[in-house]
Structure 1
Amino acid sequence: MKKLSFILSICFLLSIILSGCGGNTMTKQASSSGGKNEYEPVTIRLAYNLPQDHHISIGIENFAKKVTEKSGGKVKIQVYPAGQLLSDKEMNQAILTGGVEMGVNSSTLWSSVVPAMGIFDVPYAFSNYEKAGKALSGEMREKLNQAMEEKGAKVLMYADYGYAQFANNVRPLKSPADFKGLKIRSIGEIPSEMIKAYGASPVFLGAGEVYTALQRKTIDGATSGTTAMLQRHYDEVAKYLTINNYAYLEFILAMNKNFWDRLPENTKNLLSETAKETEQWIRAQAKSEDERTAKALKEKGMQIEAISEAELPEWKKAAEPARAAYIKQAGDLGKKLLDSIEHLQ
């Protein structure tokens, strides 16, 4: 009887020990599983130059807020809006060198780093909003992203600004011939080639300098989107607005590639997925914002000259030197990108 009691005691002790070991294993597994869903703490600085009430700015602010919320506050994005941290001329270099982790800048300015990015400035390359969306969902996006990464920038988002137009205070621009002799503020090298082809002289000025230059008549006109024209009060210093949708402007949310490479996989996925959602929201706003702001400028007294489909061939033909300049700068990649856009249905 004593022997049986001894055996039962040993079995009981063994069961306790085994149970304890199993419990520890389960605890470790649960801890490991929970850890996979947690984000490592990180703070990312994000700079942009657009006015805070611009639809791209609103989208970028929401992007930053969502990333922080989805990560439970672990992935913090500190936003520096409206040029508080960097000017648009300083932005690209700061991103490439790690002076700032993330920033938003125009594709026009990025074209000085990756010439193929000038595709968005090629006159009349994107005939409508839908075509631009399709182009940015396929091979063109992949090739541009690869070229950017080779230079040290990871593209997270293409933010649709909308179409570029012309404002001036001299006369209605009903045809390319009407540009002759005018001084027009340009936004980049390719638009400058078009302005010259139309017979005008391009002038490089920062966005914040245009109002005063028009007011003092040191320039006769400027090219920009109607969203910016309204926000910067072009209606007060320019009488005429020509709507010919010559370029579909993009702003790019990019991150320093080295910084990106060091991030945990779940943080990368969080940033990519939230950027994709935000990009779609911004794209949906571009057309309605173009229409709303053009209407507002008309209501404020600007005389609108809308170029019809039947009139566009004349404008396209006169702008061919700008297309040639892009191909010369961007090489084979630029030509392939243009060809791919032309074959989009």
Structure 2
Amino acid sequence: MKKGRKGFWAVCISLSLLALAGCGSSSTQGNAAAYTKENPLIVKFSHVTTADSPKGKASTKFAELLAEKTGGKVKVEVYPSSQLYGDKDELEALQAGNVQVIAPSATKLVGFNPAFQVVDMPFLFKNHEAVLKFWDGDLGKKLMSSLESKNLKGLAMWENGFKVFTSNKPISKPEEFAGQKFRTQAGKVLEAQFKALGAGAATIPFGETYTALQQGTVDGQENTWNNIDTQKYEEVQKNLLISNHGRIDYIVLTNKKWYDGLPEDIRKAFDESMAEATKYERELSTELDKGSEEKLRQSGKFNIIELSDAEREGFVKLMESVYSEFEKTVGKDIIDGARQL
């Protein structure tokens, strides 16, 4: 009887050990040795732009770099053009761990932290250098780290660029905006911006903007040089004001819990690959925007208006009411810090 009991307990212990071993093998994320070229760690990178956009090319670059740095032990699967998740569900999918990397517009993060509206604050950043200093400095890191309580980790800012105004009516002076209606993205800051100019704002989907301009539903719009070029707005607009008044930028995010559980060597390769891909994306975005600017200048289809420092200051003064209105929402330290760069 005793011998039978010993045998019984021996079998139980053996089964328990096998069960534990099975559990360990099903959760191999923290074990670098578990990944090989034949059995790689799969990382899903989902985004909503085309594969040939700066974001699309940079995500592919990131995949190539990470595969190279890990000897094929990590495979990044890139899903462009909302193939996997769209604007409305990619953040939830990332938090749930169904995807590991996304790159939404900064304004998509306003629900987590209203301070991300900083990209919409009009005439806040003096130049491109100030934008990079903001995101790569303490203020940008502060915004990124604010997402960690939501199981989101900010990795980098990827650029689209500065916005400029276009219209069929004169827009060289602040008072000329009065009475006009502009297409814009949704956002309270953007509504306040046009209100300060005495103009109206209409939220119209990006894909419907050309028709709205053509039919006169709106008088003008705001966008980057590259978006204006690729959407052929020069066919339905006469004037372009180089205002550089707002930004369209992306925040690359990962699932924090997943990231923290990566083996140290893979996490190091991940960070290095992201840094290199970020440099590549920013250079490519700037190059495309400048190329579109040059193309539109040479086309002669726009009456292009450039602002002197004094003229720009006139617009800035009008926006003081917007800064005051959103001081608590965005943060006085964020607004003042960005203006001083």
TM-score with structure 1 setting the length: 0.81
The one-letter code sitting in structure 1 at the alignment partner of 2:236 is: V
Quick one: which of 173, 180, 183 aligns to 2:181?
Answer: 183
Q: Distance in 1 between matches of 2:95 and 2:215?
A: 37
1:340 paired to 2:330? no
- Counterpart of 2:209 in structure 1 is 210
How far the C-alpha of 1:84 sits from its partner, in A, is 2.5
- CA-to-partner distance for each residue in 1:299-328, whole Å, 9 max, x for gaps? 342221222222011101112232223323
Q: Secondary structure at the match of 2:270?
A: helix
Q: Distance in 2 between matches of 1:58 and 1:295?
A: 22
Q: Distance in 2 between matches of 1:43 and 1:54?
A: 23
- Counterpart of 1:318 in structure 2 is 318
Q: Distance in 2 between matches of 1:243 and 1:322?
A: 20
TM-score with structure 2 setting the length: 0.82
How far the C-alpha of 1:245 sits from its partner, in A, is 0.6
- Counterpart of 1:297 in structure 2 is 296
- Counterpart of 2:262 in structure 1 is 263
- CA-to-partner distance for each residue in 1:273-324, whole Å, 9 max, x for gaps? 1111122223334444332212212334222122222201110111223222
- Counterpart of 2:5 in structure 1 is none
Q: Distance in 2 between matches of 1:114 and 1:280?
A: 26
Q: Distance in 2 between matches of 1:74 and 1:318?
A: 55
Q: Distance in 1 between matches of 2:250 and 2:159?
A: 6
- CA-to-partner distance for each residue in 1:181-223, whole Å, 9 max, x for gaps? 2221223332221012111121222322222222232222221
- Counterpart of 1:66 in structure 2 is 65
1:1-345 pair list within 5 angstroms: 41-168=40-167, 170-187=168-185, 188-300=187-299, 301-330=301-330, 334-344=331-341
Q: Secondary structure at the match of 1:238?
A: coil
Asked which structure has the greater CA Rg, the reply is: 1
Q: Distance in 1 between matches of 2:180 and 2:235?
A: 19
User: Which is further off, 154-163 or 264-273?
Assistant: 264-273
Q: Distance in 2 between matches of 1:220 and 1:60?
A: 36
Q: Distance in 1 between matches of 2:77 and 2:35?
A: 25
C-alpha RMSD of matched pairs (Å): 2.6
The one-letter code sitting in structure 2 at the alignment partner of 1:291 is: K
Q: Distance in 2 between matches of 1:186 and 1:59?
A: 27
Q: Distance in 2 between matches of 1:112 and 1:52?
A: 27
Task: Confirm or deny: 8 A CA contact 1:49 1:87 kept in the other structure.
Answer: yes
Q: Secondary structure at the match of 1:246?
A: coil
Task: Confirm or deny: 8 A CA contact 2:166 2:220 kept in the other structure.
Answer: yes
Task: Confirm or deny: 8 A CA contact 2:126 2:339 kept in the other structure.
Answer: no
- CA-to-partner distance for each residue in 1:217-254, whole Å, 9 max, x for gaps? 22222211111111222222222221111123321111
Change (3 A) 1:233 1:260: same
Q: Percent identity?
A: 29
How far the C-alpha of 1:338 sits from its partner, in A, is 2.3
